[in-house]
Amino acid sequence: SIMTAVLSVLNNQISILDIVVIIISAWVGIFALFLESNLALVHTIRSTITHGVPICGHVTWRGGFYTIAGLLNFAILEPLHIVVGLFSTGVGIYMIKIGKKAGEHLVTLRTSITDEKALLKAFMRHDENGDGYLQQEEFESLMLSLGVELDRDELDAIFFQIDVDNDKNIVYDEFRSWWKQTTSQTRVTLS
């Protein structure tokens, strides 16, 4: 997008629509870098973004943003914008699909644990090294023991939704808070 903008400016062929699409695409690209990257240097920024704008912590919403940004690129009929648009739209649709499947698996998880004692027991049983955290492998083991099979993308989506401080570990308080919040939402939805 930046290269396209520079070339357009050099050729004096830039319109207001070009500028709007380029700015939106650049912002979405920057957010994607911070929200999707596992680089240690973006950890704090990701935490700040997901705490300040909670919907950015949900894979489905992020997928929607990427899809919209991708579709906007089709407004500029240039090959690079079309390629970027196809890529962004494809990634966005894939993330929406993963987010929805992860949500279905979360409902299964919520209904399989019926009280807080069972929740703590399940958490402790799968904290294999006894450090008080569930790393992603331990969380995957917990999910499998509850009969929830996830592919890698679904596991990532659920894990990072629960891991609110983005430290790549789920502490019991995060797990319990998520469980309480989501089970109360499930009860409201079912009522």
Computed over every residue of the chain, the mean pLDDT equals 81
Q: Where does the pLDDT of residue 4 fall: very low under 50, low under 70, confident under 90, or very high at 90 and above?
A: low
Residue 185 has pLDDT above 60, yes or no: no
- φ/ψ of 115, rounded to 5, equals -145, 170
Residues 30-53 have pLDDT tens digits of 888 888 876 777 777 877 787 788
Q: How far apart are CA 80 and CA 68, in angstroms?
A: 17
Q: Where does the pLDDT of residue 69 fall: very low under 50, low under 70, confident under 90, or very high at 90 and above?
A: very high
Global pTM value: 0.64
Residue 98 has pLDDT above 50, yes or no: yes
Q: Quick one: what percent of the chain has pLDDT higher than 70?
A: 83
Residue spans of alpha helices (H) in 37-151: 43-52, 59-73, 79-112, 116-126, 136-145
Residue 186 has pLDDT above 60, yes or no: no
Q: How far apart are CA 153 and CA 106, in angstroms?
A: 14
Residues 129-184 have pLDDT tens digits of 899 999 989 998 888 877 677 788 888 888 888 887 778 899 998 888 877 776 55
Q: How far apart are CA 65 and CA 58, in angstroms?
A: 11
